[in-house]
Structure 1
Amino acid sequence: MELKLEDFRREYTQGGLDFADLAASPFEQFNQWMEQTIKSGIPDPNAMTIATVDASGQPSQRIVLLKHLDEKGFVFYTNLNSRKAQDLKQNPKISLHFPWYFLERQVKVCGVVEQLSAADVLKYFISRPRESQLGAWASHQSRPISSRALLMQQFEAMKNKFAKGEIPLPDFWGGFRVKPHQIEFWQGGAARLHDRFEYNLQAEGSWAIQRLEP
């Protein structure tokens, strides 16, 4: 059966976005939208797609969870041997995307990453549930594996290995801070006349805001 995807369409009518509505700082604006997203009750409000590029120039995307945000940037954690971490080692440029389509909103972030200190990573790692800590040890992220059964064997092996006491931080597990230079806020509009505002970081550290055509 042929899917008639061209027939799927709807109007975006939940509200507009005007320059007067915007905070001077994109971080403050993002926090406002994140708070509203959390209150809306949608699943995984901190889920974001991250895009990296490998050495051959091939882009790749995946979904991770935003775990911290302040004026320094957006923070996430991962296995440092994973595909995304290896991409970022060769090319620190990254893009984030928050797909809040239930609210007819999306946010795009462009920037570069810096690796977090071991102290910052450890602080977060020990806050994770014990099984998530074990999962970090059990998975050789992005490597091929023959079956889920083998993955569960690896998990059980780590569970037995660290049955007593605290689980140590793996030396192959870490985090990244995305330092943005551009952040765009998108609000859906009727007749596809969406509202788009782009914050661009200036040389002296301030943010310039411009409206983009939809």
Structure 2
Amino acid sequence: MAQTSSLAKIIDPPIDPVQMFKHLLETVDQGKPEGSFKEMNLATIDDEFGVLNRTVVYRGLSSDNYVFYITHRYTRNCKNLQANPKASITFYLPLVKDDADGKDTTWQVRLIGATAVELPESEMDALWDKEDLPAKIRGHVFPCGEPVDYDQLKLKHDTFLREHLTSGKPIERPASYTGWKFQPQRWDFLKVGQGLIADRFQYRLQSNGKWESMHVST
């Protein structure tokens, strides 16, 4: 089979990066079960290892349209953000159907030069109420990053679950439960597919609070 080469093209991007992001997520969600979660890769500055990244669950957009996620204050990622709020986030969105050219394409969305801001305490109860049971139990009984004995941990979990089901009471939100939103300096969208050279579209935050947008080379 003869090889071919062409250029991917991001067509008619909106003036606002959040609109672009929402459109991509809506496209990815088509045909998926309701409530399917998405992951994002979060990189933080760490005193011990320099840079640490991990894949976390994307929780949505804050009331002021910033990407946010949920964590606990005892985790290393939270301690990293408390010590140095600079972070970077990447979303990998495979096989997005592009109606413009009829091809399946892969997208990468990056939040570059983001500053993490902890969500206000007043918003945490509503978020806690949406958590599923395993997440609520984990917030109470699971240590983070500590060596554990599986059997002891399972016993602790099962005891907590049994007491919860017996009491019939809701699980209280632990003081450690928190969330962070990320305010980026740039939104970077990259589109590529088989036999295509990637196209890249970037939004750069200006001093007046407006977004300057442009195609940039890959």
Q: TM-score range by the shorter chain?
A: 0.7 to 0.9
User: Can you give the 5+ residue segments of structure 1 that lack an aligned partner in the other structure?
Assistant: 1-9
Residue 44 of structure 1 deviates from its aligned partner by 5.3
The answer to whether the 8 Å contact 1:202/1:208 transfers is yes
User: Equivalent residue for 2:108?
Assistant: 106
Q: Which residue number in structure 2 is paired with residue 46 of structure 1?
A: 38
Instruction: Give the direction of change, closer, same or farther, for the CA distance of 1:11–1:140 in structure 2 (3 Å limit).
Output: farther
User: Gaps spanning 5+ residues in structure 2: where?
Assistant: 97-105
Q: How does 1:63-212 map to 2 (within 5 A)?
A: 63-70=55-62, 71-103=64-96, 104-110=106-112, 111-147=114-150, 149-163=151-165, 164=167, 165-189=169-193, 193-212=197-216
The match for 1:4 is none
Q: CA deviation at 1:53?
A: 1.2
User: Residue 74 of structure 2 aligns to which amino acid in structure 1?
Assistant: N
Q: Once superposed, which parts of structure 1, at least 4 consecutive aligned residues long, lie more than 3 Å away?
A: 10-13, 40-45, 160-163, 189-192
Paired residue for 1:36, among 4, 27, 40? 27
What TM-score, normalized by structure 2, do the two folds share?
Answer: 0.82
Give yes or no for contact 2:37–2:58 (8 Å, CA) kept in 1. Answer: no
The whole-number CA distance in structure 1 between the counterparts of 2:4 and 2:135 is 41
Quote the residue 2:100 is aligned against: none
Structure 1 letter corresponding to 2:172: P
**Structure 1 stretch 127-136 or stretch 21-30: which is displaced more?**
127-136
Counterpart residue type for residue 211 of structure 1: H
Deviation at 1:59, TM superposition (A): 0.9
Between the two proteins, what is the percent identity of the paired residues? 19
Cα deviation code 1:92-139 (max 9, x no counterpart): 011111111333111011211111122211111112223321122121
Contact 1:34 1:45 in 2 (8 A): no
1: distance between equivalents of 2:119 and 2:177? 11
Return the structure number with greater helix share. Answer: 1
How far apart in 1 are the matches of 2:88 and 2:36? Answer: 19
CA shift, 1:167, in A, is 0.9
Distance 1:179 1:113, change over 3 A: same
Distance in 2 between residues matched to 1:45 and 1:129, nearest whole Å: 12
* 1:25 corresponds to: 16
SS at match of 1:113: strand
CA distance in 1, matches of 2:45, 2:111: 15
Please give the secondary structure, in 2, of the residue aligned with 1:100: strand
RMSD of aligned Cα (Å):
2.6
Q: Indicate the SS of the match to 1:96.
A: strand
Q: 1:140 to 1:107 in 2, by over 3 A?
A: same
Could you say if the C-alpha distance between residues 122 and 36 of structure 1 is closer, same or farther in structure 2, counting changes exceeding 3 Å?
same
Q: 1:185 to 1:204 in 2, by over 3 A?
A: same
TM-score (norm 1): 0.84
**Cα separation, 1, equivalents of 2:178 and 2:9:** 37
